[in-house]
Structure 1
Amino acid sequence: MLSKRPYLVPAFYDWILDQGHTPHLVVNADAEEVMVPTQFVEDGHIQLNISPSAVRDFHMDRVGISFEARFGGQPERVFVPMHAVRAIVDRDSGQGATFPDEPEETFPESEEDREGTPAPKSDNKGRPQLRAVPGGEDGATGKGSDDASSLSSDSGSDGDPDGGEPDDDPPPPSPSGGGKGGPSLRVVK
């Protein structure tokens, strides 16, 4: 089963920062690929302050967390693969998430390993999906042609936006300048 850690650690990190608190990471220092200053490891674990004011060059993705920090006044480069994260906690409130070892969990590969690998196929055949279709913002091409409904406003023949069924919001302008002939989005059922 795919591990929850690469998804939950960034979420808790953002949640802690949004409160103005300090995120701390508890790391299994004995795990493979971990790069931490060993003189600060206690009982095989190290607790790291990963707040933006305590680290430089912070990067977190599904593979791991890397940054530079000062330990005893000396700058050190740190790398923590996601499988080594044991907990992320809010230093101020003590709330957070702990992650036990689960033998069946798998972790994402690095970006280099994923290149050339096809994306996993989705089994969500009943869910609507968005796709780009030719025709521009007015939905002139294929209007009412298949079961797909255009996200752009279906207006009456006189161009009055209230002539058709009301939409919640009008579609935003296309970043490529909009107009006819540009891509638009459709909900595919």
Structure 2
Amino acid sequence: MFDIPSNKPYLIRALHQWCTDFGFTPFIAVFVDERVEVPLECVKNNEIVLNLSTEACHQLQIENDWISFQARFGSIPKKIRVPISHILAIYARENGQGMSFPYDPLQARGLLGKDAPKGVDEKPKPPRPSLRVVK
């Protein structure tokens, strides 16, 4: 038997395309740990929300394992790299429509489907992102 790859990157690409096609601003909520490359001064409670619109980011690549792009934070260009496993949600800023994903620390460490080492602590689990519809 073989491992079926995650459908998460495909769903993220589809929702990003949907947002773009209909003029919405695609945002992602990200759980931040040592594998995530973002400006740490923008991180609150181990989370950051990033704007993935064509106006906000350049050289956007949504691959099966990583999202990467360049963006400006306080007029300073930064390279951003986020593992797909750390994405908590993708949604349209304007109406909150999108999808949230569970965060699995074992998957994020690349241990899912393998024998997890004894004593692997699954904490900290981030709070579930709350998406709300603003009318």
**TM-score between both structures, scaled by the size of structure 2:** 0.72
Q: Which residue number corresponds to residue 97 of structure 1?
A: 99
Deviation for aligned residue 1:16: 0.8
| Aligned counterpart for 1:3 among listed residues 2, 6, 12 | 6
- Mapped to 2, the partners of 1:107 and 1:41 lie a distance apart of 20
Deviating beyond 2 angstroms after TM superposition, the runs of 4 or more aligned structure 1 residues are: 1-4, 101-108
Q: Which residue number corresponds to residue 65 of structure 2?
A: 63
Structure 1 unaligned blocks of 5 or more = 109-189
Amino acid at match of 1:40: C
Contact kept? 2:85, 2:104, Cα under 8 Å = no
- Mapped to 1, the partners of 2:105 and 2:86 lie a distance apart of 13
1:18-167 equivalences under 5 Å are: 18-30=21-33, 32-102=34-104
**How much is the aligned-residue C-alpha RMSD, in angstroms?**
2.2
- Mapped to 1, the partners of 2:63 and 2:25 lie a distance apart of 19
Amino acid at match of 2:81: F
- Mapped to 2, the partners of 1:68 and 1:52 lie a distance apart of 11
**Cα offsets for 1:65-122 (capped at 9, x unmatched):** 10000001111100011001110010011110000124786899xxxxxxxxxxxxxx
Contact kept? 1:66, 1:78, Cα under 8 Å = yes
Structure with the larger helix share: 2
The structure showing larger relative contact order (alpha-carbon pairs under 8 Å, at least 6 residues apart) is 2
State the identity %.
38
Structure 2 unaligned blocks of 5 or more = 111-135
Structure 2 residue 22 is matched with structure 1 residue 14: no
